[in-house]
Amino acid sequence: MRRFLLVLAASMAVAGCSTGSAPKPVQSGAPDAAASPADVPACESIPVITPPEGAFKDSPIYVGNDMPSDEIGEWARMQPDFEELWIDREHGGWVVVAFSANAADHQAELAQTFPGVGVVAVQVDWKKADLERLQQRVSDALRSRFESLAVGIDVMRGKVMIGIGVLSPDRIETVRSLFGGEPVCVEGLDPSVAVPEGPQPTFGDGWRLLASEKVGEAYRTGIAADPEAYTALWGRIGLTDEPPPVDFQTEVVVWLGAVYGSSCPDIRLDAVVSDVERRLVHGTIVLPSIYNACTADANPHAFVVAVERSRLPAPPFGIQLNAEDPPAGAPEERTIVETDLREPGSTPGSGEVHLDPNLPEPYVVEPGSIIEPDVEVPFRLDVRCGIEWLGPLSDYWWKTPVPAGSDRFVPVEWEPLVQDGQIIVSVLMEGGPEPTVTATAADHSIVYRISRDAPAACT
């Protein structure tokens, strides 16, 4: 997650942070080029600002957003030398308040004003006003140089973050030549993983493109195996041109109703894959020239292709947009075909083309997820080593007492629900001075509390 303040963002940054390693300069030019003060570091290589050792205590712990950040922010903005504040999720969700001077004095004032609250002052060597001016200079200088540019203030590192797209040597050199030695850092994609720009292919292995237009429905697929079905599918998509000819003795028509965000309109179909083993036909749909986050609005782009029948899997087979399963909330994406369309001129019978009845899969929170307090959700708990540990959940491991000598203990009420070493329990996280997670299954509840330790590897 990119953590920085945009020009119009609210003044208080509420984000997680973690410690990092020493800064590593992003080299411009040859890999063995010597580092210099003018080099521009990668943002992720810069450690976040952390208060002195011992500033954080074991309690309180905030598992949601129940820390009094608004009240602290109102107080802090009235203090001289105040610059910004953020939430440190690595240290119990404490509020970190940054001052450009006299942080020790402000720490004493915080302790007196907010007794028992998880808040700590930290001294920084920057002023937000200076970073805002630098941010504007960077934006003015680079806006016309990079087709994809994001400029913001990373208050937890005290830098102006510059998203320059692909981290190519020439782009880094441009930033270095203009802002080397200033408090800036760069963000972007490694050239080896960036999707190259290029035109839309018109054919590939076993397929050819019939249409590519921003019409239709997003997260949809379909198939036509005869002229009548082809005409109907063409009309359903909303295409207005005359449909290109298709030889239905040797080909079928497949519709891939892809999706893109309005801030990332470039979308391309690079391939159509017939995965015989998975019994799946899917596209390889990419977003070239995308280096920053895209807006989440779902806009449709229709790719219509003719696929050689000889390339199709045996029935039943599925059609979906990419190799990954459809996302939650889009069960209409996957189309199931129960007819052997490899036979020349064959067509599906009534009801033999339909949506996948197994979608959507039930919503279950997985380990490593973040949940909100006071909201009950289903959670997948691995009980192969017992139920003593739950998590990680909301950045913490949670632990409950188990009978002595029963390191693989599972309550008898839960045992009938265990499948493949896992059980789906309902979890409810509650905040407060001593946060808890209550896991319930078969009307039997277990209460977990935060552990500063992590469980040993389960074997």
Where would I find the H helices in 198-319? Answer: 227-237
Structure tokens at 74: 């109102």
In angstroms, the CA 299 to CA 447 distance is: 44
pLDDT band for 64, please (50, 70, 90 cuts).
confident
Instruction: Give the number of C-alpha atoms closer than 13 A to the C-alpha of residue 169, restricted to the C-beta side.
Output: 7
The C-alpha R_g of the chain, in whole angstroms, comes to 28
**Cβ-Cβ contacts under 8 Å for 188 (sequence gap 6 or more):** 163, 164, 165, 166, 167, 171, 291
First-to-last alpha carbon distance for the chain, in angstroms, is 33
In angstroms, the CA 239 to CA 217 distance is: 12
Mean pLDDT of 289-307: 84
Query: Quick one: pLDDT at residue 148?
Result: 75
CB 290 within 8 A of CB 251: no
Instruction: Give the number of C-alpha atoms closer than 13 A to the C-alpha of residue 425, restricted to the C-beta side.
Output: 30
Q: What is the pLDDT of residues 300-333, one digit of tens each?
A: 999 999 999 999 999 999 999 999 999 878 999 9
CB 92 within 8 A of CB 19: no
In angstroms, the CA 441 to CA 423 distance is: 9
Mean pLDDT of 44-48: 94
Q: Which one-letter DSSP state was computed for residue 25?
A: E
Return the bridge partners of 151, or none.
162
Residue 193 Ramachandran class (φ > 0 left, ψ -120 to 50 alpha, else beta): alpha
| Sequential DSSP letters for 248-294 | TTTEEEEEEEEEE-TT----EEEEEEEETTTTEEEEEEE-TT--SPP
Mean pLDDT of 380-395: 94
Helix (H) / strand (E) element for 99: namely: strand 94-99
**Most confident of the ranges 234-243, 286-295, 402-411:** 234-243
Instruction: Give the number of C-alpha atoms closer than 13 A to the C-alpha of residue 185, restricted to the C-beta side.
Output: 23
pLDDT band for 293, please (50, 70, 90 cuts).
low
CB 225 within 8 A of CB 245: no
Query: Quick one: pLDDT at residue 457?
Result: 84
Share the mean pLDDT of the chain: 89
The total number of residues written for the chain in this structure: 459
Strands annotated E in 20-70: 25-26, 40-41
Residue among 329, 275, 252, 271 at smallest CA distance from 298: 329
**Mapping DSSP to helix (H, G, I), strand (E, B) and coil, where does residue 419 land?**
strand
For 134, phi then psi, to 5°, come to: -65, -40
Mean pLDDT of 73-101: 96
Mean pLDDT of 133-139: 97
Quote the pTM value. Answer: 0.69
Q: Which amino acid is at 457?
A: A
Q: What is the pLDDT of residues 419-443, one digit of tens each?
A: 999 999 999 999 888 899 999 999 9
Angle between helices 169-179 and 128-142 (to 10 degrees): 130
Burial (Cβ within 10 Å: 0-12, 13-18, ≥19) of residue 14: middle
